C-alpha cells in the first residue's frame, strides 16, 4: 500500500494532505525519513508522523445533521462550534467536504481519507441534493436554465436535476463541488437563497435525523458509499 494511502486510512489526514506531510519530511518508516508518498508499506512497519507512532484505527463514518453556524472543519479556534464536536468518538475524524456555516443538513465525518477523497473529487460525480428556499418566486424559465447549466465566474455548471416543491422552494441535485455553488446558481438566474439544507449525499438520505444529532453508518451503508464513488 502507498504510504500516503496508509496514513489516510489510519486517520492521520486526507490522502492529499498526507502526501504533503510526507513530502515535507515529517514521516519516518522504521526510523528512516521517507519523502515519497508512493513509498510502499505493508502495515507491519513502525511509522511515525512528527515523532508520534501511527496506529491503524477502525474505520468510522458518521452522518451529522449540521445546524446553522456550525463550522465544517476538524477544529475551530474561535468561538463557533466545529462539526466534529457534535460526534462522541475517540477516532480522528475529518469532515468529508464542506457545508457552509449558513447552510444546514447532511455532512459526513470519517477517519477514512481515501473514502473522503472519492466522495469529494469531481471525477467520481457523487450526487448531492439540496433543499433550497428562495427569496422570490422561481420562474419556470429559471428552472430550465438550472437544468441546462448556468454560467458562473468559474465556468458553466453541469446540468442540475431540479424539482419544484413550491413557488419559492426547490430540490436541486448537483455532482460538482464548487464553492457556494447552489447559492451562486440561484443568483445567476436572478434569485437569492435564504435557506439551504443538504438532504442527501450519494445513496444516503438525511431522513429524520434531528438537527445537531449524528449516527454511525453501518457497513452496508459504507459499502454503498464506496460503490457510488466508483469502487465496484
Distance from C-alpha of 80 to C-alpha of 197, rounded to nearest angstrom: 19
**3-state class (DSSP) for residue 220:** helix
Measured from the Cβ of residue 76, the count of other Cβ atoms closer than 10 Å reads 16
Contact (Cβ atoms closer than 8 angstroms) between residue 136 and residue 168: yes
Task: List the pLDDT tens digit at each of the 232 positions of the chain.
Answer: 889 988 887 778 877 889 999 999 999 999 999 999 999 998 789 999 999 998 777 889 999 999 999 998 776 666 788 999 999 988 888 899 889 999 999 999 998 888 888 898 888 889 999 999 999 999 999 999 999 999 999 999 999 999 999 999 999 999 998 899 999 999 999 999 999 999 999 999 999 999 999 999 999 999 999 988 875 4
CATH number assigned to the domain comprising residue 35: 3.10.290.10
Q: Are strands 161-166 and 61-66 parallel, antiparallel or unpaired?
A: unpaired
CATH number assigned to the domain comprising residue 192: 3.30.70.1560
Domain range for 48 is: 3-53
Q: Total structural domains in the chain? A: 3
Q: Are residues 153 and 218 in the same domain?
A: no
Annotated catalytic residue within 36, 75, 100, 102: 100
Q: Are strands 155-156 and 204-205 parallel, antiparallel or unpaired?
A: unpaired
Active site residue 171: no
**Helices (H) and strands (E) in the chain — how many of each?**
6, 15
Distance from C-alpha of 149 to C-alpha of 145, rounded to nearest angstrom: 6
Amino acid at each position: 500500500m502507498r504510504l500516503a494511502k496508509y496514513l489516510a486510512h489510519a486517520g492521520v489526514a486526507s490522502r492529499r494532505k498526507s502526501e504533503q506531510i510526507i513530502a515535507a519530511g515529517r514521516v519516518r518508516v522504521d526510523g528512516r525519513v521517507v519523502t515519497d508518498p508512493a513509498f510502499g508499506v505493508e502495515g507491519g512497519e513502525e511509522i511515525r508522523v512528527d515523532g508520534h507512532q501511527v496506529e491503524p484505527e477502525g474505520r468510522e463514518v458518521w452522518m451529522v445533521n449540521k445546524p446553522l453556524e456550525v463550522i465544517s472543519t476538524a477544529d475551530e479556534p474561535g468561538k463557533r462550534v466545529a462539526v466534529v464536536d457534535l460526534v462522541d468518538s475517540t477516532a480522528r475524524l475529518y469532515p468529508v467536504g464542506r457545508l457552509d456555516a449558513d447552510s444546514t443538513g447532511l455532512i459526513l465525518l470519517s477517519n477514512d481519507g481515501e473514502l473522503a477523497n472519492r466522495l469529494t473529487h469531481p471525477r467520481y460525480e457523487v450526487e448531492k441534493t439540496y433543499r433550497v428556499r428562495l427569496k422570490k418566486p422561481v420562474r419556470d424559465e429559471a428552472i430550465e436554465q438550472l437544468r441546462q447549466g448556468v454560467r458562473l465566474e468559474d465556468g458553466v455548471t453541469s446540468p442540475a436535476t431540479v424539482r419544484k416543491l413550491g413557488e419559492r422552494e426547490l430540490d436541486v441535485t448537483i455532482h460538482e463541488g464548487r464553492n457556494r455553488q447552489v447559492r451562486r446558481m440561484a443568483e445567476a438566474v436572478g434569485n437569492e437563497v435564504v435557506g439551504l439544507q443538504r438532504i442527501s449525499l450519494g445513496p444516503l438520505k438525511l431522513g429524520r435525523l434531528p438537527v445537531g444529532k449524528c449516527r454511525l453508518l453501518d457497513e452496508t451503508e459504507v459499502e454503498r458509499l464506496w460503490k457510488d464513488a466508483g469502487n465496484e
